[in-house]
Chains A and B, each alone.
Chain A
């Protein structure tokens, strides 16, 4: 007979559920999508070591060379060259730098500002809530693409402006969700209990409510990263992002769109990279939402 422990019978009503980390790693969606994002980060950080060519080096004698395997392909140019004879593969690899910078910095800042305002509106209610909610309404009456183009035109093109534009537009996504979540959490018994034993408002907000809103927030942040990558690509496409001597996927797509009948790969390669990245962030966000959300988990 096994050693019998009275505490164990009280605490354990079944097999211990696996920890969050284990559950996440077991989810194939999260594993594949997360692996892809890690790969992108490695590419971005080590771009000069990995890229076969200088992404800016032009060679007009080797312009619009098709990818390997097609007629007239050139050895050494695995994914072909663009209209100025620059190596498409190297440019896509260097393009991850701008895309990921925007994904992490812009989405992170939007999350920070949006959730802070959302927490305040949801918990304090009253006038604060009215002012913040009305602000969100006015914000959302702008078409996001138009607003981002407008903002970048106002701020001047460049990476800082792109990041600022995304933050200024997309804080509302976080604000709305966090506000609703906070209002729901504020009704819970544990908040009433915390108030009864004399916790201060900031303590209740950041030590009690915030941890319970966090799972939703993390999933939302991951989804926002995918959105940020697309917005940067759109702004690069229109010519309002970083200067044209920095390779970006959107900039490559814009060039490829112009010469699509002569050299489809100049459009197809960065578009495929953008597609894979957006899908990866999205699937990761979905997987995280399911693994972290205590309600959906059951």
Chain B
């Protein structure tokens, strides 16, 4: 049954991605701005413009352009970036690891932070502590990553200047890496000083992305935990003499975590969307920052590649979430 679910989801994913491809392609072709006019030096004649258009295939009829592009995409060739003059696949491959590390770290921080506050709130239920957590959390839920990022800039780069404001790593250290996964590589090869430097650069963007998600996790998980704590199996464990913390972590959490897991997956896609502006604020060299430059420069091939990549990431996460939820929930597994 699980296989049927997977196949169904993959088929849906292909249809959705095809839709995304058509939408972005058509959207870009109705742009009033001409990318060739932006890249050519002033004083170039109409013949030069026509030659350049031909070079990038922009002179062919739209359906032909679309067909050429789609044929390339299927084989992993997204064309050549108009502003960077390298293949889009190459640019994406070199920028994606930075965003993956940032997003995964932010997810980890959000789950740990949100999870522990939810457990603490459950332990403190019906006390002033819970009221405090609820009150703070209702504000946290309202504040988006954009505002967090700038508030963190004021706090940790200006008021208490302890964290570097921009970049991913000190440029002097960036040479000695054989992959683009700087954080993972430095940890796996035991270069902890480098890892510390990378983490200090990632701290603010990570927190900005993690805090809104943590707030969502706190609200839902605490609600589920409180509901679980009044169930019979928890009462039974309580009669057996289990401590309160053990009741929450061992008995309630296992049964309460389902809805939170599903929601966290959906929210993770929002987090990845948030990398676009957060990377911009901290001049972090990921695909989000790249996307804004690509749009401002009207770099069609790069924008198309980026949007498809984002679409693919979103879909993969959604499939992953559905599968995890289905695997963990026996009732859904046999549905």
- Identity of the chain A residue whose Cβ is nearest the Cβ of B298 in the assembled complex: A153
Is there a chain B Cβ closer than 8 Å to A150's Cβ? Answer: yes
A-B contact count (CB 8 A): 120
> A156-B32, A230-B144 known; A146 and B154 CB under 8 Å?
no
Q: Do B154 and A150 touch (CB < 8 A)?
A: no
Q: Do A141 and B158 touch (CB < 8 A)?
A: no
Task: Give the residues in chain B near A156, CB-CB below 8 Å.
Answer: 32-33
Q: Do A238 and B280 touch (CB < 8 A)?
A: yes
How far does the Cβ of B113 sit from chain A's closest Cβ, in whole Å?
A: 20
Q: Do A260 and B157 touch (CB < 8 A)?
A: yes
Task: Give the residues in chain B near A239, CB-CB below 8 Å.
Answer: 296
Is there a chain B Cβ closer than 8 Å to A286's Cβ? Answer: yes
Q: Do B153 and A267 touch (CB < 8 A)?
A: yes
Is there a chain A Cβ closer than 8 Å to B258's Cβ? Answer: no
How far does the Cβ of A272 sit from chain B's closest Cβ, in whole Å?
A: 9
Q: Do B154 and A141 touch (CB < 8 A)?
A: no
Q: Do B147 and A278 touch (CB < 8 A)?
A: yes
> A138-B23, A260-B158, A261-B158 known; A279 and B295 CB under 8 Å?
no
- Identity of the chain B residue whose Cβ is nearest the Cβ of A143 in the assembled complex: B273
Q: Do A141 and B314 touch (CB < 8 A)?
A: yes
Please report the C-alpha to C-alpha distance between residue A257 and residue B277 in the assembled complex, in whole angstroms.
13
Task: Give the residues in chain A near B291, CB-CB below 8 Å.
Answer: 146, 149
How far does the Cβ of A248 sit from chain B's closest Cβ, in whole Å?
A: 14
Is there a chain A Cβ closer than 8 Å to B262's Cβ? Answer: no
> A141-B315, A257-B150, A275-B147 known; A282 and B274 CB under 8 Å?
no
Is there a chain B Cβ closer than 8 Å to A121's Cβ? Answer: no
Q: Do A143 and B272 touch (CB < 8 A)?
A: yes
Interface string of B89-116 (1 = CB under 8 A from A): 0000000000000000000000000000
Is there a chain A Cβ closer than 8 Å to B188's Cβ? Answer: no
Is there a chain A Cβ closer than 8 Å to B239's Cβ? Answer: no
Is there a chain B Cβ closer than 8 Å to A234's Cβ? Answer: yes
Q: Do B154 and A234 touch (CB < 8 A)?
A: no
> A142-B310, A156-B32, A260-B153 known; A279 and B139 CB under 8 Å?
yes
- Give residues in B with beta carbon < 8 Å to A: 12, 15-17, 19-20, 23-24, 27-28, 30-33, 138-139, 141-144, 146-147, 150-151, 153-154, 157-159, 165, 269-270, 272-274, 276-277, 280-281, 288, 291-292, 295-296, 298, 303, 306-307, 310-311, 314-315
Known: A142-B307, A142-B314, A156-B32. 13 other contacts (CB 8 A): A134-B19, A137-B16, A141-B314, A143-B272, A143-B310, A146-B276, A146-B306, A149-B295, A153-B31, A253-B150, A257-B150, A257-B281, A283-B142
29 chain-A/chain-B pairs, Cβ below 8 angstroms: A134-B15, A138-B23, A140-B314, A141-B16, A141-B20, A141-B314, A142-B307, A143-B273, A146-B276, A149-B292, A153-B296, A153-B298, A154-B31, A227-B144, A238-B296, A240-B296, A253-B150, A260-B153, A260-B165, A264-B159, A267-B154, A271-B147, A271-B151, A271-B154, A275-B143, A275-B147, A275-B151, A278-B143, A279-B139
Closest 9 CB pairs of A and B: A143-B273, A282-B142, A138-B19, A145-B276, A141-B311, A153-B295, A279-B142, A264-B158, A149-B295
